[in-house]
Amino acid sequence: MSEETKYKLFNPFSGLFAKMMVPLGQLRYYKVYHRWRELKHPVTFYDKVFWMMRFADLTRWAEMADKYAVRDYVARTCGSEILTNLYGVYDKAGDIDFDALPNQFVVKANNGCAANFLVRDKATANLEEIRKKLDFWLDIRYGELTGQPHYSLIKPRIIAEQLLVQDGDINKALIDYKFNCFDGFVHSCAAYRDRVEGSHQFARMDYDMDWNPHPEWTVPGKEKLAPTPRPKCLEQMIDIAHRLSKGFPFVRVDLYCIDDKPYFGEMTFAPGLVFFSDEFQIMLGDMIDLSKVKLRK
């Protein structure tokens, strides 16, 4: 029996936070949209995503959301050339041999969101603080705390990988291209730029696949909107998103374009609560066919 299988058997939904996952998700949604999610007759995008989190078999979600395990799927589906270089995989921060890592790298927890350190100069980084924070992230029940149960099915690990550099400027935030995909159909892309490191502050704009901007897809004044030039590798990224998303009623495929070459970021099944307009939520919701969802036993 694999370590992953053992973890799934003894971990998933135990304890107080596990019992609170559904109400926690509801509260997070109410805070943003001032209404409760609809489970009996879901229509909008977030209602259907929440319905899937509540009733769907999340086994594949967990595998694809695992920032380490997903690499095998990406390599088999699209080729390993779109993956960043992997330097190491660790069960705990004490296992990391920083001396063996290059001067610039990323270390992250595989089982959550925004749990990473961008090390631009190893000589000046506080490596012991990084170890402490990484172990803290591994101990957090991220799925239970955020109402996203598939993250609780992931065996916590740390990975060290290549640090990508945008436009030759190591201090510049990466432009993150987030493609909304529906069983192989790539509908739209949100381009995130100017992200403040370690926070959820950024500027964004939604685009169709001809790279026409759609500011009306966002609730006016709720988020900072800023245009991003059409990436030169857009067609390659659309093809990658198409191939990776086949078989999933919805998944957001996050990619980067570095020196005109596409790189894989992650796959997200329950995106954070951005301020989608009601019209856009219905538009996206119409593309999720819940009849094809494999239900949880």
Per-residue pLDDT tens for 154-175?
999 999 999 999 999 999 999 9
* pTM exceeding 0.75: yes
**Residue whose pair of structure tokens reads 């191939």 in the numeric block:** 243
pLDDT tens for 97-139 read: 999 999 999 999 999 888 899 999 999 999 999 999 999 888 8
pLDDT at 196: 77
Q: What is the pLDDT of residue 147?
A: 72
Domain with residues 3-291, CATH architecture: 2-Layer Sandwich (3.30)
Is the separation of the CB atoms in 254 and 246 below 8 Å?
Answer: no
Give the pLDDT confidence score for residue 32 in this predicted structure. Answer: 59
The CA distance from 35 to 278, in Å, is 12
Enumerate the domain spans of the chain. 3-291
> What tokens were used for 74?
């990406």
The mean predicted confidence, pLDDT, of the chain is 88
What SS3 state is found at 59? helix
CA-based torsion, 206, 198, 69, 151: positive or negative: negative
Task: Provide, rounded to the nearest whole percent, the portion of the chain with pLDDT above 70.
Answer: 86
What is the per-residue pLDDT across 20-56, written as a single tens digit (0 to 9) for each? 556 666 666 666 555 655 567 899 999 999 899 889 9
> CA torsion 108→109→112→116, rounded to 10°?
-20
Is residue 12's pLDDT more than 70? no
Amino acid at 86: L
